[in-house]
């Protein structure tokens, strides 16, 4: 099975405080991998290392290596990586000054990649279709996205990320700010998307992880406790801490 990201001995510190204490794992292509764990376990930091957005934090230091398709992501300009890896954030963040149409192709505009009008139309329709939003917005493409519901805005952000044709899509708790119906919508979407793009998803919702992902990684205190297929992790986990986390969440 081919891998997308290969993480080797990743250690992350902010100042003198260790956040991630040596994680090694590989993510497989055409799969959905969930990263879960309690608050403060480092899962958000971890996923942000994948597209080097962790560099926004002052005093952050990284040791170890991350490779994307055998390319060390720290040896190139971060923008190169970010064009191959898409990200969707916890709160939907479409650009408020742009129309829905412009939002979808924002990646091209911002990177100075020219798109002819027919190409732009094609990309917009394709991406919005993949994100399951086309039919709802096809008549209002040139309006600004503020009137869309939270779930629709999030799907717009997914379309925006997909428009760049990334090999990996990073999702940072994509449904935690949404209502249950939108959440269900997006979970269905994720299942469909893995055909074309590999997905790494941070979630604190155990049910979501079990429904949607093929592989699951359990992080605790900055360490990778267990990583395996979702089925195994949820039924017969190796590590007692995994079991304790899952039961505490499922149980009382």
Partner 1 sequence: MGSSPIVGSNLMTGVGGFVHHNRWFKWGLLMGPCALITLVAWMVVTFGMAAWPSVSELGLGFYVTDVWDPVHDIYGGAVFIVGSILTTALAILLAAPVSFAIALFTGYYFCNGPIAMVAQWVLDLLASVPSVIFGFWGLIVLVPMIRLIETHLGVPPYGVGLFAASMVLALMMTPLMASLLRDIILTVPADLKEGALALGATSFEVVKHVVWPHTLPGMVSAIMLGVGRAIGETMAVTMVIGNANHWPTHLFDPSNTIASLIASDFGETSDPLVISHLIHLGLVLLVLSLVTGFLGRRLVRITRA
Partner 2 sequence: MRDDRLSQRILVDRMVKCLLMGVAVTVALVLVSIIWFVASRGIGAINWTFLTSLQGSPGDLKVGILNAMLGTVMVAGFTTLVVVPFGIWCGVAMAEYPAHPLVKWAVMGMDALQSIPSILFGILAYLWLVVPMGHFSSLSGSVALAMIMLPIVVRSVEESVKQVPVTLREASLALGASPTRTILKIVIPSGLNGIVTGALLGLGRIVGETAPLLFTAFGSPFLVASVLEPVQTMPLLIYNYATSPYPDWQQMGWGASFILLVFCFMLGVFTRFLVRK
Q: Which of 4, 9, 42, 40 is nearest to 199 (CA)?
A: 4
Q: Which residue, 155 or 160, is less far from partner 2 as judged by CB?
A: 160
Q: Which residue, 15 or 118, is less far from partner 1 as judged by CB?
A: 15
Buried/exposed code over 116-127 (b: 16+ C-beta within 10 A; e: otherwise)? eeeebeebbebb
* Options 6, 8, 14, 25; binder of partner 1; rule CB under 8 A: 14
Distance from chain centroid for Cα 141:
25
Q: Which residue, 150 or 228, is less far from partner 1 as judged by CB?
A: 150
Each residue 147-166 as x (binds partner 2 by CB under 8 A) or -, in order, gives: ----------x--xx--x--
* Options 1, 2, 16, 39; binder of partner 1; rule CB under 8 A: 39
Q: Answer whether 50's CB lies under 8 Å from 200's CB.
A: yes
* Options 89, 95, 108, 234; binder of partner 1; rule CB under 8 A: 89
Asked if 55 interacts with partner 1 (CB under 8 A), we say yes
Q: Which residue, 81 or 246, is less far from partner 2 as judged by CB?
A: 81
Q: Answer whether 52's CB lies under 8 Å from 79's CB.
A: no
The two tokens of residue 242 are: 């995994």
Q: 24 to each of 11, 43, 123, 151, 173, how far by Cα in Å? A: 10, 14, 36, 34, 22
Asked if 174 interacts with partner 2 (CB under 8 A), we say no
Rounded to whole angstroms, how far apart are CA atoms 22 and 167? 25
Q: Which residue, 45 or 216, is less far from partner 2 as judged by CB?
A: 45
Enumerate residues 101-130 that contact partner 2 by CB under 8 A: 106-107, 109-112
Q: Which positions lie near partner 1, rule CB under 8 A?
A: 14, 19, 38-42, 44-45, 48, 54-58, 89-91
């Amino acid at each position: 099975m081919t891998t997308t990201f290969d993480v080797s001995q990743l250690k992350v510190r902010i100042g003198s405080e260790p956040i991630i204490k040596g994680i090694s794992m590989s993510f497989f292509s055409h799969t959905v991998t969930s990263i879960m764990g309690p608050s403060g376990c480092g899962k958000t930091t971890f996923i942000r290392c994948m597209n080097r957005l962790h560099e926004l934090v002052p005093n952050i230091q990284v040791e170890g290596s991350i490779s994307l398709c055998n390319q060390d992501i720290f040896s190139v300009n971060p923008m190169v990586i970010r064009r191959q890896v898409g990200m969707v954030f916890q709160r939907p963040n479409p650009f408020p000054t742009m129309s829905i149409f412009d939002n979808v192709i924002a990646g091209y505009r911002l990177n100075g990649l020219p798109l002819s009008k027919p190409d732009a139309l094609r990309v917009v329709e394709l991406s919005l279709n993949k994100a399951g939003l086309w039919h709802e917005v096809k008549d209002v493409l040139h309006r600004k996205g503020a009137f869309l519901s939270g779930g629709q805005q999030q799907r717009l952000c997914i379309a925006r990320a997909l428009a760049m044709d990334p090999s990996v899509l990073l999702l940072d708790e994509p449904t935690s700010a949404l209502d249950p119906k939108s959440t269900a919508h997006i979970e269905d979407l994720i299942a469909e998307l893995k055909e074309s793009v590999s997905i790494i998803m941070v979630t604190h919702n155990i049910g979501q992880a079990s429904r949607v992902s093929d592989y699951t990684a359990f992080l605790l205190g900055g360490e990778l406790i267990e990583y395996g297929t979702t089925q195994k992790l949820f039924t017969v986990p190796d590590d007692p801490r995994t079991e304790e986390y899952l039961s505490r969440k499922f149980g009382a």
